[in-house]
Amino acid sequence: MPQVQAYVYDITGGMAKMISMSLVGKQIDVVPHTGIVVFGKEYFFGSGPCIGVPGQSVPAQVAQVLDLGETSKTPDELEAYINSVLALEHTSENYSLMTHNCNHYAMDVAKFLLNGKGIPEWIVNIAQDALSTPQGAGLRTMIEQADTMMRSQSGGAPGGMNPYGNVGTGAGAGLNPFGHVGSAAPAAAPALAPVAKPAGVADTFSEGLEDAFDEMKSASVEEKRACLSTLLKVTQNLEKNPDDPKFRRIKADNPAFSKKVIDCAGGTEALLAAGWAPDTHEGEDVWAMCEANADQQKFFRENFERELAKLPPPPAPTPAPAPFAAPAPAPDFGGMGGMGGMGGGGMGGMNPQMMQQMMNNPGMSAQAQQMMQNPQMMQQ
């Protein structure tokens, strides 16, 4: 009997694994998009039910392949069920990131094929578990921004997290008999457009940036200043040198950058909103900026400047302490050895400790000076 598998993609491209702990306080290795692979095809949800080439249906890497079991159903039975039932229950209009997404569609396909057995619950529950908390708002922003970028690159229709609506349409329409579902009329896939050019993309990024700035309100003024100043400097360098690859990468283990940006509330969200994404370069983890996003940095520079201008002036530097003044040296009484008449035995034999005590006593020192100036006192 035909084998049924679930292909699980990470729509964040590894981003969730890197920063989920800092954002939501729990480790999330993938934020999944799932397709069901059977009969040599992949059944998945785009702007409606779609069919594609296994492992190539969406612009992301397969993170996991799960063996679900074997089916007694035929391709015709499955596709008739999709066309008559699932196509009506799963549309772009009723899509919800939290409760009715591509993973719920994959669950329904698997249950039909396997007589009630679906995909693992963690896949369909991950959005609800991780993103419904206040801490999850940052990760939700990240996912929505990943969605925007993937839709721009794949030509998917806007509206909800449905970045794969173009798959199998146009010349390959035979691979996607359900491509019309959720749209007013069949349409060919739109031409790809650079992410930086359409005004709508800037609007979406603007919303993510405003969410990041709201998150920054929980940081101290100086933490916020350090974060925004660092982001502004990075953005200015990129704006001036958009074609220089060295300004489009930041080492993920850079301690100064991590302390000022990643560790600041809202810092990671602002970085993501500005178009940066986790990547690897020559075996190192980096934050990378694609060439298309590098061209729209003026928008982000102006926003970082605006937020910095809202902050109060930095505190005045603490003045340096005055240098320590050494005490004036004690008077030199080395010439008093000849005062033989004083005290009967003379001062020549006075031990050094007693001499030091006398010199440190202002009264005795003044009396000694008077005696030196008045020989008659020395004779008494």
Catalytic site positions: 33, 102
Show the tokens assigned to 318: 């603490």
Q: What's the rounded Cα separation, in Å, for the pair 38 and 48?
A: 18
HSE-CB at 108 with a 13 A cutoff on CA atoms is 18
Cβ atoms 363, 355 nearer than 8 A = no
Strand order in 249-251's β-sheet?
Answer: 249-251, 284-289, 276-281
| 3 state SS of 329 | coil
Place of tokens 């003024």: 221
| 3 state SS of 20 | helix
Mode of pairing for the β-strands spanning 62-70 and 284-289 = unpaired
Cβ atoms 115, 68 nearer than 8 A = no
At position 96, the amino acid (one-letter code) is S
* Residue 321 to residues 81, 318, 324, 325, 328, Cα–Cα distance (Å): 82, 9, 9, 12, 21
Answer positive or negative: Cα dihedral of 53, 57, 60, 66: negative
Q: What's the rounded Cα separation, in Å, for the pair 166 and 154?
A: 7
